[in-house]
Each structure stands twice: as C-alpha cells, then as structure tokens.
Amino acid sequence: MEKFSLTTAIDYVNGAPHIGHAYEKILCDIIHRHYKKRADKTFFLTGVDEHGIKIQKTAKTLGITPKELCDKNASQFVEAWKLLDIEYSKFIRTTDAEHKKVVQDIFEKLLEKGDIYKHKYKGLYCSGCECFLSDKDLDEDGCCPIHGKKPEAVEEENYFFKLTKYKERIIEHIKNNPEFITPEFRVQEILNQLENIEDISVSRAKTNVEWGIEVKSDPSQVIYVWIDALSNYITALGYDVSGNFGDNFKEFWPVNYHVIGKDILKFHSIYWIGILMALGIELPKGIYAHGWIMIDKNKMSKSTGNVISPKTVMEAFELDKPDALRYFMATCAIGGKDGNYSDEDFKEKVNADLANNMGNLLNRSLNMLVKYFDGEIKEEFKNDALVDVADSTVKEVLSLFDKIDVAGAASKIIALSDEANKYINDNAPWTLYKEGKIKECGQSLYTVLNLMVKTGLLIQPYCPNIANEIARQLKFDINLKYDEITPYMLSAGKLITKEEIKPVFLRLDSEIAGDKKKS
Ligand code: MSP
C-alpha cells in the first residue's frame, strides 16, 4: 500500500474534551498507527471547530473575546490528545488565517458558479447542532432530539447552497459505492434523508452571529459553521481554489476515511458531498460513522453532570500512560454501535486482557526462560507450533482494519494470546523441565515468546507503550511493518536477564477509582 489518510471530526471548543471526543481520536490514532505499518506514507488530520453562536455567547458571559475563549479551550484539546498519545499529522483550527482565506475563496467560487444564492428565510435554529431544523426533525415536544432544547425561531436573509441540484448525483454515488458509507446499516437512513433534502443555509446575518468568517463580497454576512467546518478537510491539506494545491492535498486527497460520529453523518455524506461536487473536487473514498459512548448507559451531558474527561479517568486510576484507556475505548463499542464507559467495565476489561492474558503470559514465559536457560534461546528451540495460528491472526487483523473494525481486530489479537495461554498450560514447560525433557521445554517457551513478538506488533497501535516494553524485553524492532513479520521472529542467543524482566501492565486497583471519586 502506498498511501493512507484519514480525518476526525473537528470538535467544538465550547467545553473541555470528554471521553466521547477522545473515543473518536483514539479510534483514528489506532487506525493511523495500524496503516503506518502497511503504507509508505500516511496523513492523520484532526483539529477544532471554533466559530458559531455558542462560542460567541459563552465568551460574552465570561467577559472575554471569542478568540481568547477559543485559544484557551483549543489548548485543552491539544493537551488531552498529548496525554492520550494521539499522534496526528496536523491539528487544524478554523481560526487559522490560511483556513479562513480558503473558506472565503470557496464561498466566492460557489457564488460565481450560481450554486450559492441569497434568500429570505424563516426557520428554527438549534444552536447545539449549529443548524436549522425542519418540523420533521423535532420530537413530539417540538425540541431538538439530540439536545433536548426548543430551537430558536430565526428570520433572516441568508445565502443558500443549491444542495437540491446535486441530490440525484449524491444518491447515485451512494448507491453505486456500497462501501462509501460504513457501517452499512447507516446507508438507508442517509438515503431516506436525501429524499426530503432542501437547499441549505450557508451564512448567518452578522447582526445575529458575529463570530464567523466574513463573506468576502458581503461583509454583512458570516459563513455559517458547517461550510466553514467541513472545508477544514481540504484547507488543512493545502487546497486552493485557483488550483495551486499544496503538496499534502496532491498527495493525500481524496482521504481514505472521514471518521465521524453518527450524529453528524448527514452533514458529511450529504452536505459535504454536495459541496465537493459543486467545487469539482474528488470525493473522499469513505466515511465511517461511529456510535456514541454512553456513561453508565446514559448519554453524556452537561445538564446531567455525567461528563467525564480522559484526564479524570487517568487520574482516578493513577495511570501515567494512556494504553489502558486507549485499549478500553477502542473495544467498548462494536461495529459502529454505541458503547458504554463505566469504571467497573474499564477495570475488568483491561485487567483481563492486558494484565492477565497478555502481560502475565509474557512475564511467566520470560521468567521460565531465565530460570531454565539463563535467558537464552537455543537454536534447537525453534519450532513451528502456533506459527500458522499467528499468521492467520495477522491476516484477519489486517482485513478487519480494512473494514474499520478496530474492536473486532482487538479481540482477534487477544484471542491469539488466549491460544498461547492455553498452549503453555497444556504443554506445561515446568513439568517438561522436571521430567528432563529440556529441548521440549525450550521449544514450548520459544513458541510462546515468538508468538508474543507478533502480538506486540499487532497491539502496538492500541497500546504503544506496552508494545514498546514488550519489544524491549523480546529485543525486536517495534517499528517493523506487517509484511516484515516472518514465521520465526526470535533468533538464537541470549534474550534477557532476570533484572530486565518487568511486568508490561499492572492490574488496575479496584479501590482506586472509587476512593478518588469519594474524596
Ligand atoms: N464541530 C462539529 C463537527 C464538525 S466536522 C467538520 C461537531 N463537534 S462536536 O464537538 O459536537 O463533536 C465532535 C465529534 O465528537 C463528532 O464526531 C461527535 O459525533 C463526537 N462525539 C461527541 N460526543 C460523543 C460521544 N458521547 N460519543 C462518541 N462520540 C461523540 O459535531
């Protein structure tokens, strides 16, 4: 594979990052790290969405400028992603000068083309969604079903994008490309929404919303958040309306995936596609809509007071590395459905998979290697038990990643160390040693340690620090690509001393999180 690129949604900065935002960035970071082991060049874009009425209002309440508020809050996202070892290629802010300029140019280009027109409009605006809602979108109490609030009646003269002009082409594209939207169960919902699609408002009157990018040819209007926000995917790569594209745009557009939450799939698979068609830009190769992370089975919301930040979780469990949280988040939602976070589930899952299953296995095996063979792998230990199993796991993991099944791939990796645990219990190298079957004892240890090298390489995208520790103890290069995995990954010679053996992951203490919350 030559190239792989992906993007996350850009988060609103009107609050601090929570574990729902973190879930998406972790998912993307894992996908990106996985493809780094398969592709020659990769690009991973994330960032923040800073304009709109919510920021304007909050800043006013706090007595600071919207830009000051954005600077303060954007840095919290940067810090949170650092804490979680999210290694993005670029972090875009929609207040970046370059982004603002290109968004203005895009707007002018669409105006010139006649795809944007001015129109007097009366509608219901939900500031939570930052969009107009139709009566059909509301629940029985007339509220936005996502934010539970009554939208505000707005009457304004705005610019509109002729989305209806592209309706048929969008439908055709979705129908002709069954893998364009994943998971597949979301496709019909989008096709249904397309049936009732109308032209969309793409600007707000400055008298009502000031905090936005000004329309160049009409400073009485600001560009409405979605056209500003969605364009980040191309402005960040160096798109330019004159065709003078930056290197990243030439290299990485169209991206392989836009990864976003189910709540904003409509904006990505309908609005954004229409805008790209109007601009004559190639479409992204795929859109993956993930589910939502709930807290103790409830939706996270400021009013319920159940919003959890990744930092809180790490502090509550006294974690200095994010691997456990990354692993849990990556596995707690399956197949694009909603997932759930609870302290109890978190602790159980990571203790079972990372400490008991993987960590203990490595620790036990290395200790036996030191005890019986002074930490040395002998040439005669090399054998092919479980080599086929590991080989087919590698293939399965790769194919699951091609379907963005990050949780499914993790369960295959853990199933591999399950196999190895079963193997070591069945073969009992401690008994073989006692019975004087020295070669067989060495062979069974080789089998498990050789398999742990492959497990380390496969788990690396999820748990980079644990993987580094596995690689340090088994003396292999953690940056190996997947096509460099060969049947026998351990060579003969001294592997490790007693002092070098360290548990790769310590069990989470059951009492810690509860106590922290009580205090
Ligand atoms: N700013 C827009 C996106 C513009 S993309 C061009 C936005 N921001 S958001 O902050 O509300 O959400 C950012 C991302 O986080 C979205 O993909 C959203 O689905 C995701 N999540 C927000 N809450 C979530 C959970 N509780 N669980 C999982 N993801 C959630 O929408």
CB distance 194 to 167 below 8 Å: yes
The first and second tokens of residue 163, run together, are: 């989305």
Query: What's the CA-to-centroid distance between 11 and ligand 1, angstroms?
Result: 6
d(CA 86, CA 78): 9
Tokens 């330019």 -> residue: 240
Q: Which residues pair with 360 in a beta bridge?
A: none
Share of residues in the chain with pLDDT > 90 (%): 87
Q: Express each pLDDT in 24-80 by its tens digit.
A: 999 999 999 999 999 999 999 999 999 999 999 999 999 999 999 999 999 999 999
Question: Would you say the CB of residue 91 lies under 6 angstroms from ligand 1?
Answer: no
Confidence category of residue 154, pLDDT binned at 50, 70, 90: confident
What element of type H or E holds 143? Answer: none
Higher pLDDT, 341 or 145: 341
Strand intervals (E) in 381-500: 493-494
- Kindly tell me if the per-residue pLDDT of 443 is higher than 60: yes
What is the helix, strand, coil percentage profile of the chain, to 5? 50, 15, 35
Q: Name the residue type at position 115.
A: D
Protein residue with least CA distance to atom 26, ligand 1? 20
Protein residue with least CA distance to atom 6, ligand 1? 230
Other residues' Cβ atoms within 10 Å of the Cβ of residue 403 = 15
Give pLDDT, residue 517. Answer: 55
Rounded to 10°, the helix 438-459/360-373 angle is 150
- Kindly tell me if the per-residue pLDDT of 7 is higher than 80: yes
Give pLDDT, residue 510. Answer: 62
CB distance 255 to 4 below 8 Å: no
CB distance 232 to 258 below 8 Å: no
The pLDDT of 116-144, averaged and rounded, is 86
Helix, coil or strand: residue 307: coil
Give pLDDT, residue 144. Answer: 87
Query: For the chain, how many residues are written?
Result: 519
- Best mutation site among 24, 81, 255, 296 for ligand 1 pocket (most ligand atoms within 8 Å of CB): 24
CA 442 → CA 431, 446, 485, 491, 493, distances in Å?
12, 6, 22, 13, 13
Q: According to DSSP H, which parts of 267-383 are helical?
A: 272-279, 310-316, 323-331, 343-350, 360-373
Instruction: Tell me whether residue 153 is exposed, middle or buried, using C-beta atoms within 10 angstroms of its C-beta: 0 to 12, 13 to 18, 19 or more.
Output: exposed
Q: Express each pLDDT in 192-230 by its tens digit.
A: 999 999 999 999 999 989 999 999 999 999 998 789 999
Residue 148 φ/ψ region, left for φ over 0, alpha for ψ in the -120 to 50 degree band, beta for the rest: left
Strands 203-205 and 218-223 come out as antiparallel
Burial 3-14 (b: 16+ CB within 10 A, else e): ebbbbbbbbbbb
Question: Would you say the CB of residue 103 lies under 6 angstroms from ligand 1?
Answer: no
Give pLDDT, residue 122. Answer: 85
Give pLDDT, residue 511. Answer: 64
Protein residue with least CA distance to atom 18, ligand 1? 261
- Kindly tell me if the per-residue pLDDT of 113 is higher than 90: yes
Share of residues in the chain with pLDDT > 70 (%): 98
Question: Would you say the CB of residue 24 lies under 6 angstroms from ligand 1?
Answer: yes
Closest CA to 50 of 217, 216, 223, 220: 223
Question: Would you say the CB of residue 261 lies under 6 angstroms from ligand 1?
Answer: yes
Question: Would you say the CB of residue 156 lies under 6 angstroms from ligand 1?
Answer: no
- Kindly tell me if the per-residue pLDDT of 473 is higher than 60: yes
- Kindly tell me if the per-residue pLDDT of 1 is higher than 90: no
- Kindly tell me if the per-residue pLDDT of 328 is higher than 60: yes
Question: Would you say the CB of residue 341 lies under 6 angstroms from ligand 1?
Answer: no
The ligand 1 atom at the shortest distance from the C-alpha of residue 230 is 6
Confidence category of residue 515, pLDDT binned at 50, 70, 90: low
Q: Express each pLDDT in 364-408 by its tens digit.
A: 999 999 999 999 999 999 999 999 999 999 999 999 999 999 999
Instruction: Tell me whether residue 112 is exposed, middle or buried, using C-beta atoms within 10 angstroms of its C-beta: 0 to 12, 13 to 18, 19 or more.
Output: exposed
d(CA 159, CA 221): 8
- Kindly tell me if the per-residue pLDDT of 171 is higher than 70: yes
Query: What's the CA-to-centroid distance between 24 and ligand 1, angstroms?
Result: 8
Q: Give backbone dihedrals phi and psi of 336, rounded to 5 degrees, phi first.
A: 80, 5
Catalytic residues: 18, 21, 126, 129, 144, 147, 299, 302
What element of type H or E holds 341? Answer: strand 339-341
d(CA 450, CA 495): 12
Mean pLDDT, rounded, of the chain: 95
d(CA 436, CA 425): 18
Question: Would you say the CB of residue 52 lies under 6 angstroms from ligand 1?
Answer: no
Closest CA to 35 of 72, 3, 83, 77: 3
d(CA 211, CA 124): 20
Q: Give backbone dihedrals phi and psi of 293, rounded to 5 degrees, phi first.
A: -95, 125
**HSE value, Cβ hemisphere, 13 Å, CA-based, for 438:** 8
Give pLDDT, residue 211. Answer: 96
Query: What's the CA-to-centroid distance between 21 and ligand 1, angstroms?
Result: 6
